[in-house]
């Protein structure tokens, strides 16, 4: 039976504390210069040395040769307060979690009244001080504010804000922090050496990571690993399995598959993560960490060994290769996606699904990014080439360019920059001609817009008359996906049109039909569906402009109205404004669209007053009546 590591190696002096110099240095100075306060508040995350520091402080204060910053370790007090000592009568440790009420505070007050039994001070250490009730603190207030000469208080808490302000303001507050990774790594390495344990490469960084900066947690994990190891060697396999981390080899696989955009391998690896019962979230965390490492490696090269502590030169070599395949821009992009995926997985009902979607996104975005960057590179290095290419490939335009002004071809080349410079092969504007070119159109669409392609592949061409293509879809749903959505410019039909233009040079309109419906249905398509499709023929303008029914007549007749039948309208408009340009609201509706209010139709003056021959005289009559 052995005691736990963290107890066996609990520091006995401030000099032995690791990673808390922001606290230990000023405390030691205060002790050396004899400027010790009567109450201290130690705050910080669990397992980073608050209670240990409180005990060390007590040891320093009560040392026979003290107060000192380095207890002698030989006097009675020092021996009693050592890590395996019996404890001192004059140092009282109170667990505030179970002694938090008014009665406990009163009890403490009484005990404080007595002088120390042997040593210099009576020291009260209140652990978990945030658990003390406000009443309990209030009962202590007077004592903490003006304690007897021989009394010292040390409050230790993870939640200093829960210690009431009146107490807090009477203490010196020392915030403890999580221990930095590098410090902790050195510490556990040293500990393994002292314990005579050999540890596989890569295990200790995992232990430190799992410990999360808490010395107690880290040492507990190491303890557990050592306890479960055959002989005196802690193997990597066992550590990875116990700590729940992703095996480095599996991470390598996934990263290499992603870098090579090998979807098959990537999904196979993800499946293995799931099959081995690993937490998908933990896996994404590990993947994100690996991407971070790769970014560091890409930025610093072989110097990364000094930044990524605990990694061997061999691992850095491998990561360098992975980073090179990825490319640094892609890496940071992939890290963004993984990070977003991690956030999405919080509370997700199916983390597996999210994991797979995230991998899909990584694969897709990686490909897209590469295409974009390649395009960008060529554009910057050879700025004149694309323009020249489009000009030469767009041969049909050339004769026009000769006759037209010289700026026109430049404009045309500049306006559709996203369009791949594929040369259009003119086709015979018939059903047969289009059917022949259809596979090429689909292929173009697949590369240009995969979503649109998925919709269009379900359709077949029934007819092309040189102007309108009739497409037949297997179901109404498919047809609906193809039709333009109201208020959404550039739908699937636009993408298809772009591809058809690119491949064949034709710029057709579409007519949509659903399989199984009689052929006649194609000709009698519901008017509202085909009309927006047929209308947007104008290039560059995605918005289907539909004429307002009767607007033409209204505008032409309104001119007449203004001059001849102005009498009918003025009921509302000319009363206050005589000018035409000042009209708005109701008068516009009335003038331009010839509308009348409903009530006017029913109870308007038309019924009471017979239709007037001379409108001008009707108005005053109506007004008087
Ligand atoms: Zn001593």
* pLDDT tens sequence across 142-161: 888 888 889 999 999 999 99
Highest mean pLDDT among 26-30, 82-86, 298-302, 438-442: 26-30
- C-alpha–C-alpha distance, residues 498 and 510, integer Å: 13
Element (H, E) at 463: strand 460-464
CATH of domain 248-374: 1.20.272.10
The residue assigned the tokens 């000042």 is 582
- Structural contact between residues 269 and 287, judged by C-beta atoms closer than 8 angstroms: no
Lowest mean pLDDT among 253-257, 510-514, 537-541: 537-541
Residue with more model confidence, 389 or 266 = 266
- Structural contact between residues 553 and 519, judged by C-beta atoms closer than 8 angstroms: no
71 Cα: distance to centroid of ligand 1 (angstroms): 5
Phi, psi for residue 103 in degrees, rounded to 5 = -60, -40
31 Cα: distance to centroid of ligand 1 (angstroms): 14
- Structural contact between residues 470 and 522, judged by C-beta atoms closer than 8 angstroms: yes
**In this model, does residue 569 exceed pLDDT 70?**
no
Mean pLDDT of 10-39: 92
Mean pLDDT of 397-402: 40
DSSP, collapsed to helix, strand or coil, labels residue 550 as: coil
Q: CATH class for domain 431-534?
A: alpha beta
- Structural contact between residues 75 and 63, judged by C-beta atoms closer than 8 angstroms: yes
Residue with more model confidence, 570 or 212 = 212
554 Cα: distance to centroid of ligand 1 (angstroms): 106
Lowest mean pLDDT among 56-70, 196-210, 433-447: 433-447
- C-alpha–C-alpha distance, residues 48 and 215, integer Å: 6
Structure tokens at 529: 């569906």
- How many Å separate Cα 486 from the centre of its chain? 31
At residue 450, the pLDDT reads 67
- C-alpha–C-alpha distance, residues 292 and 284, integer Å: 12
96 Cα: distance to centroid of ligand 1 (angstroms): 28
Phi, psi for residue 365 in degrees, rounded to 5 = -65, -35
At residue 474, the pLDDT reads 74
- C-alpha–C-alpha distance, residues 171 and 154, integer Å: 9
Lowest mean pLDDT among 11-25, 285-299, 412-426: 412-426
* Domain-wise residue ranges, the chain: 5-175, 181-243, 248-374, 431-534, 551-624
370 Cα: distance to centroid of ligand 1 (angstroms): 68
Q: Is 213 left (phi over 0), alpha (psi -120 to 50) or beta?
A: left
Model confidence, pTM? 0.53
122 Cα: distance to centroid of ligand 1 (angstroms): 16
Q: Which fold has domain 5-175?
A: Rossmann fold (3.40.50)
301 Cα: distance to centroid of ligand 1 (angstroms): 51
Phi, psi for residue 94 in degrees, rounded to 5 = -115, 130
The residue assigned the tokens 């000023």 is 26
* pLDDT tens sequence across 233-291: 899 988 988 888 888 888 888 898 888 888 898 998 888 888 877 888 888 998 999 99
**In this model, does residue 112 exceed pLDDT 90?**
no
170 Cα: distance to centroid of ligand 1 (angstroms): 28
At residue 302, the pLDDT reads 75
CATH number for 181-243 (one of 3.40.50.300, 3.40.718.10, 1.10.8.60, 3.90.320.10): it is 1.10.8.60
85 Cα: distance to centroid of ligand 1 (angstroms): 13
Residues 462-492 as b/e (b if ≥16 CB within 10 A, e otherwise) read bbbeeebbbbbbeeeebbebbbbeeeeebbb
Structure tokens at 108: 């403490």
């Amino acid at each position: 039976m052995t005691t736990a590591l963290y107890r066996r190696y609990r520091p006995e002096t401030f000099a032995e504390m690791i990673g808390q110099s922001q606290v230990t240095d000023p405390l030691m100075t205060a002790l050396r210069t004899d400027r010790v306060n009567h109450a201290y508040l130690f705050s910080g995350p669990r397992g980073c040395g608050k209670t240990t520091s409180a005990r060390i402080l007590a040891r320093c204060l009560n040392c026979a040769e003290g107060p000192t910053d380095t207890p002698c370790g030989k006097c009675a007090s020092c021996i009693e307060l050592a890590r395996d000592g019996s404890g001192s009568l004059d140092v009282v440790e109170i667990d505030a979690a179970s002694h938090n009420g008014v009665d406990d505070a009163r009890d403490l007050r009484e005990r404080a009244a007595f002088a120390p039994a042997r040593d210099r001070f009576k020291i009260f250490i209140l652990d978990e001080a945030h658990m003390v009730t406000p009443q309990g603190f209030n009962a202590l207030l007077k004592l903490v504010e003006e304690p007897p000469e021989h009394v010292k208080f040390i409050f230790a808490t993870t939640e200093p804000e829960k210690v009431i302000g009146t107490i807090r303001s009477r203490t010196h507050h020392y915030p403890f922090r999580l221990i930095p990774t590098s410090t902790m790594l050195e510490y556990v390495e040293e500990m393994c050496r002292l314990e005579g344990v050999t540890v596989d490469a890569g295990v200790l960084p995992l232990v430190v990571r799992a410990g999360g900066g808490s010395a107690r947690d880290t040492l507990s994990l190491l303890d557990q690993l050592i306890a479960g190891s055959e002989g005196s060697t802690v193997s990597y396999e066992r550590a990875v399995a116990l700590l729940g981390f992703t095996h480095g080899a599996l991470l390598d696989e996934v990263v290499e598959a992603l870098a090579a955009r090998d979807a098959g391998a990537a999904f196979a690896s993800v499946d293995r993560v799931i099959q081995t019962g690993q937490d998908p979230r933990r896996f994404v965390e590990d993947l994100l960490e690996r991407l971070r490492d790769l970014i560091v490696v890409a930025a610093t090269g072989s110097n990364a060994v000094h930044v990524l502590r605990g990694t061997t030169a061999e691992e850095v070599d491998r990561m360098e290769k992975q980073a090179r395949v990825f490319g640094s821009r892609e890496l940071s992009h992939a890290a963004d996606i993984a990070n977003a995926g991690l956030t999405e997985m919080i509370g997700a009902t199916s983390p597996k699904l999210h994991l797979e979607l995230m991998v899909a996104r990584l694969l897709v975005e990686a490909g897209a990014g590469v295409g974009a960057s390649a395009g960008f590179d060529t554009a910057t290095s050879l700025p004149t080439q694309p323009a020249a290419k489009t000009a030469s490939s767009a041969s049909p335009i050339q004769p026009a360019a000769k006759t037209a002004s010289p700026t026109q071809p430049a404009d045309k080349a500049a306006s559709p920059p996203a369009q791949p410079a594929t040369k259009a092969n003119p086709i015979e504007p018939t059903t047969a001609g289009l059917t022949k070119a259809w596979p090429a159109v689909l292929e173009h669409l697949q590369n240009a817009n995969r979503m649109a392609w998925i919709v269009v592949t379900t359709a077949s061409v029934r007819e092309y008359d040189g102007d309108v293509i009739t497409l037949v879809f297997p179901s109404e749903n498919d047809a609906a996906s193809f039709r333009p959505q109201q208020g959404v410019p550039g739908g699937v039909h636009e993408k298809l049109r772009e591809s058809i233009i690119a491949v064949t040079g034709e710029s057709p309109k579409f007519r949509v039909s659903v399989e199984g419906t009689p052929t006649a249905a194609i000709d009698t398509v519901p008017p509202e569906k085909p009309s927006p499709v047929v209308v947007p023929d104008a290039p560059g303008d995605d918005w289907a402009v539909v004429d307002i029914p009767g607007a033409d007549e209204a505008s032409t007749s309104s001119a007449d109205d203004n001059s001849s039948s102005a009498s009918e309208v003025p009921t509302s408009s000319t009363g206050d404004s005589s000018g035409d340009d000042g009209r708005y609201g109701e008068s516009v509706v009335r003038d331009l669209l010839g509308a009348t209010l409903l009530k006017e139709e029913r109870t308007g003056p038309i019924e009471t007053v017979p239709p007037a021959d001379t409108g001008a005289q009707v108005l005053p009559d109506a007004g008087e009546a």
